[in-house]
Amino acid sequence: MDITQTIFKELDVSYGSDNVYYQIISAILESSERLQLPHHLKLLMAQPKNEIIVHFPVRLDDGTYRLFKGYRVQHNNVLGPYKGGMRYHRSVSLDHVKALAAIMTMKTALVRLPYGGAKGGIKVDPHALSHDELMRMTRRFTSALCPNIGPDYDIPAPDVGTNAQIMAWMADTYVNLSEPENRLGGISVVTGKPIEYGGPQGRDKATGQGLVYVLDELLPETGLDVRSISYSLIGYGNVGSWTGRLLQERGAKLLAVMDHTGAIHHAAGIDATALARHVETTGGVAGFASADSITTDEFYATKVDVFIPAALEQMITEEKAAIIQCRVLAEAANAPVTPAGERALLARGIAILPAILCNAGGVTVSFFEWKQNRQSESWDAATVDRELKRLMVAAAQRVRASA
């Protein structure tokens, strides 16, 4: 029996080996074996401290009611308050949220932020709701979670399907439900807020910016220079589109992009800024005039220096890994590669830059926001960038040293 099976047997739980939670915990447990950590620490890491599920009704615009299911999983808080995003997506499930919460524990520890790890969300397609329905759902979800979150206890943030407006509704609901003496510092219960409501400069681009700093630091040893690379992207939401725009400023060439609406390719390079405008107005990359439409397999097989998955978990399976043509894969999404996919990529000599490093820029700027809120400060954009770069480069160097 391997270490994962041994630990799960002792905890009396069972998961299929293709379950995302099983895969994340087995990566953590295999590493803990190499580090020869004591058995009780492995047990602690293999299950979250708290798994909270709430059901709450929301009145829709047509007067009917719908019952929603929301989650908050608090994986570990040894290094500080629980910290992690809130996801609104149809794929949200307890095991997904558990896996993402465990990843947050690793991510905050790697960057040495004073936080643990958590994740939450609602199983919903946010695009199918009106603005008012989204607000009512968010406020009702926050009030259901109120006793379990707090500026010193558990601090939500944006993730897939959520944004600064949703964070403002969460913070406002929390503040209004707090005792008067706690209201002053209440907005630091949530990060990723709009600038007008205590948010930091540059939170939107933070994850993409962090990835660019990691590439600056780690690509040279693979013989690549970020200013002259070609690359492809899966996903053109917050992380993908900011990565595209920031890499374009450096001179890198975006050859292909795929999202839930289709895949596109342009040999001379896709204009990342024009594509961001197109996605904002149409909802996806399909139909972008200055590129050709290609199939999914053609997308994966496009030869690039760096392949960047910036969408959901477990997209790079063994089959996809067999056709990807790149030298480096940078995990901008959380857990985008399955364990079999990872083995296949490594066997082909493709270097993988891990998610807990590549996408840590978001939570790092969240930390700056939380710190500014608590110290009644407001940093300018140059200070945010400088501090982000400092922490991301230090984290990249730690990853290089342990790799």
Catalytic residues: 119
Sign of CA dihedral 274, 278, 283, 286: negative
Amino acid letter for position 218? L
Closest distance of CB 184 from ligand GLU, Å = 22
CB of 158 to ligand GLU, least distance (A): 6
Give the nearer residue to ligand GLU in terms of CB position, either 140 or 203: 203
Contact status: 83 vs ligand GLU (CB under 6 A): yes
Rounded to an integer, what distance in angstroms lies between the CA atom of residue 306 and that of residue 224?
Answer: 9
266 near ligand GLU (CB under 6 A): no
Given the complex with ligand GLU, which of 231 and 370 has the nearer CB atom? 370
Q: Which two tokens stand for residue 377?
A: 């400060």
x/- letters, 212..251, toward ligand GLU (CB under 6 A): ----------------------------------------
Residue with Cβ nearer ligand GLU (88 or 288): 88
Q: Which of these segments, 63-71, 78-86, 375-383, 384-392, binds ligand GLU (CB under 6 A)?
A: 78-86
Binding mask of the shown chain, residues 347 to 366, with x at each position contacting ligand GLU by CB under 6 A: ------------x--xx--x
Least distance in Å: CB of 318 to ligand GLU?
25
Size of the site for ligand GLU (CB under 6 A): 12
**Is residue 308 involved in binding ligand GLU (CB under 6 A)?**
no
Minimum gap (Å) between residue 340 Cβ and ligand GLU: 24
Q: Which is nearer to ligand GLU, 85 or 240 (CB)?
A: 85
| Residues 15-54 contacting ligand GLU, CB under 6 A | none
Among 99, 157, 306, 333, binds ligand GLU (CB under 6 A): 157
Residues 176 to 195: which contact ligand GLU by CB under 6 A?
A: 191-192
Residues 6+ apart with CB under 8 A from 142: 149, 169, 170, 173, 174
Judged by CB, which is closer to ligand GLU: 170, or 363?
363
Contacts (CB under 6 A) with ligand GLU, residues 325-344: 334
**Are residues 71 and 141 in contact, defined by beta-carbon separation less than 8 angstroms?**
no
Q: Minimal distance in Å, beta carbon 336 to ligand GLU?
A: 12
Question: Which is closer to ligand GLU, CB of 49 or CB of 327?
Answer: 49
Among 154, 159, 342, 385, binds ligand GLU (CB under 6 A): 159
Among the listed residues 48, 81, 84, 339, the single contact to ligand GLU using CB under 6 A: 84
Q: Quick one: three-class SS letters along the chain?
A: CCHHHHHHHHHCCCCCCCCHHHHHHHHHHHHHHHCCCCHHHHHHHCCCCEEEEEEEEEECCCCCEEEEEEEEEEEECCCCCEEEEEEEECCCCHHHHHHHHHHHHHHHHHHCCCCCEEEEEEECCHHHCCHHHHHHHHHHHHHHHHHHCECCCEEEEECCCCCHHHHHHHHHHHHHHCCHHHCCCHHHHCCCCCHHHCCCCCCCCHHHHHHHHHHHHHHHHHCCCHHHCEEEEECCCHHHHHHHHHHHHHCCEEEEEEECCEEEECCCCCCHHHHHHHHHHHCCCCCCCCCEEECHHHHHHCECCEEEECCCCCCECHHHHHHCECCEEECCCCCCECHHHHHHHHHCCCEEECHHHHCCHHHHHHHHHHHHHHCCCCCCHHHHHHHHHHHHHHHHHHHHHHC
Closest CB 255 distance from ligand GLU, rounded Å? 26
Residue 58 or 311: the one with the smaller Cβ distance to ligand GLU is 311
- Contact positions vs ligand GLU (CB under 6 A): 83-85, 157, 159, 191-192, 334, 359, 362-363, 366
